[in-house]
Amino acid sequence: MHLFISCDWGTSSFRLRLVDPISHAVLAQVKSLQGIADAYDRWRQQSRDESERFSFYQSIIGDHLRQLQEQVIDSLDYLPIIVSGMASSNIGMVELGYKELPLAIDGSDLVYKSVGPTEYFPHEVIVISGAKTTNDVMRGEEIQLIGCDFPSGGERIYIFPGTHSKHITVKDQRVIHFKTFMTGEFFHLLSQQSILSKSVEDDHLPWSSETQKSFEEGVEQSLHGNLLHEAFLVRTNHLFGDFTKAMNYHYLSGLLIGTELKGLANRNVPLTVVANEIMLLYYVTALQKLKCFTFEKVDVDISLVKGHCKVYLMLRHNIS
């Protein structure tokens, strides 16, 4: 059975999976917070020669491979490793240029670099790069997109919530455009580092009727108000006793997500939201509030694994 190792290496997280490319089954996995930013900081602190950079990052993958090996019986040696995310950035293991749009959704024109196995690291490592428009870039979401299903013909927008959310437009089986929204980063800055931080609190609980209502009110206000003014209402909501801190937390979230999505409210284009369970709840609720009802939901972990499977099978076919 042909297996491979899927590596999703983001800025602040790392995930390694042993995958069956035919069934898309994940046979074992390890997760950590050793993202690319952490790896790059450690690399700089050691002041090693640039020629050793790739092998330094390989050693981090190797640490996780040993944890993965503990979960399976057969040896993982010589299984290829597909690496996507920030590993191909200027702070990653090797910097690769972006693929300029359009981009085929089967992954056939991705930019990648393959490094063969060595005595010290018995795995072929295939690093996948990202994509760019004339004024925007992404790394990682293109793999998640490749793992989605695509209706034949027509146009569809795929929404990837996150620190830097992406709206990716696919038409006739090609990515023709995408936009980045700093929704998650703005939320972190406002809720953690601004004057509003004293007025919000994450209760880490499922939505109550009150917190859902406050989220929907934030979405509603994003349509009719000005973000710079409406954000300050988070403070006055608390000062005047109108909202609890937990309600304010969801109001601010609704305000920012609504600001991100409101440009889609009047577009007659089907949508797909690709996210984890929590973010699907937020974005689906916001889209319904904005009267966008033609959309599908996709689990982002499933789409990532399927995307890596498609890339692996495509590369194996091309090599053979």
92-108 tens-digit pLDDT: 999 999 999 999 999 89
Q: Of 188, 94, 86, nearest to 137 (Cα)?
A: 86
Asked if the domains at 4-139 and 183-299 fall in one CATH topology, the answer is yes
**C-alpha 51: how far from its chain's center?**
30
How far CA 194 is from CA of 190, 246, 249, in Å, comes to 5, 17, 13
Q: Of 153, 131, 150, 132, nearest to 142 (Cα)?
A: 131
Contact 112, 125 (CB under 8 A): no
CATH classification (class only), 4-139:
alpha beta
How far CA 235 is from CA of 70, 124, 205, 242, in Å, comes to 50, 53, 22, 10
At 317, the pLDDT band (50, 70, 90 cuts) reads confident
- Name the token pair of 194: 């601004």
> What are the residue ranges spanned by the domains of the chain?
4-139, 183-299
What is the C-alpha to C-alpha distance for residues 308 and 82, in angstroms, rounded to an integer?
7
Contact 287, 271 (CB under 8 A): yes
At 267, the pLDDT band (50, 70, 90 cuts) reads confident
Ramachandran area for residue 123 (φ above 0: left; ψ -120 to 50: alpha; else beta): beta
Other residues' Cβ atoms within 10 Å of the Cβ of residue 13: 17
SS3 at position 230: helix
263 versus 151: the higher-pLDDT residue is: 263
At 183, the pLDDT band (50, 70, 90 cuts) reads very high
At 318, the pLDDT band (50, 70, 90 cuts) reads low
pLDDT of residue 237: 92
Residue 152, pLDDT above cutoff 90: no
208-218 tens-digit pLDDT: 889 999 999 99
46-76 tens-digit pLDDT: 888 888 999 999 999 999 999 999 999 999 9
Contact 35, 86 (CB under 8 A): yes
At 89, the pLDDT band (50, 70, 90 cuts) reads very high
DSSP structure string for 32-67: ES--HHHHHHHHHHHT--GGGHHHHHHHHHHHHHHH
pLDDT of residue 1: 55
2 versus 161: the higher-pLDDT residue is: 161
Question: 183-299 has which fold?
Answer: Nucleotidyltransferase; domain 5 (3.30.420)
- Name the token pair of 191: 């809720």
DSSP 198: G
What is the C-alpha to C-alpha distance for residues 110 and 311, in angstroms, rounded to an integer?
9
Q: Which helix (H) or strand (E) holds 250?
A: helix 245-261
206 versus 8: the higher-pLDDT residue is: 8
Q: Determine the average pLDDT of the residues in 185-203.
A: 95
Q: Determine the average pLDDT of the residues in 165-174.
A: 95
Residue 262, pLDDT above cutoff 90: yes
At 113, the pLDDT band (50, 70, 90 cuts) reads very high
What is the C-alpha to C-alpha distance for residues 317 and 311, in angstroms, rounded to an integer?
10
What is the C-alpha to C-alpha distance for residues 244 and 90, in angstroms, rounded to an integer?
43
pLDDT of residue 320: 46
Instruction: Say what angle helices 245-261 and 183-193 make with each other, to 10 degrees.
Output: 150
Q: What is the mean pLDDT of the chain?
A: 93
pLDDT of residue 319: 54
What is the C-alpha to C-alpha distance for residues 237 and 196, in angstroms, rounded to an integer?
10
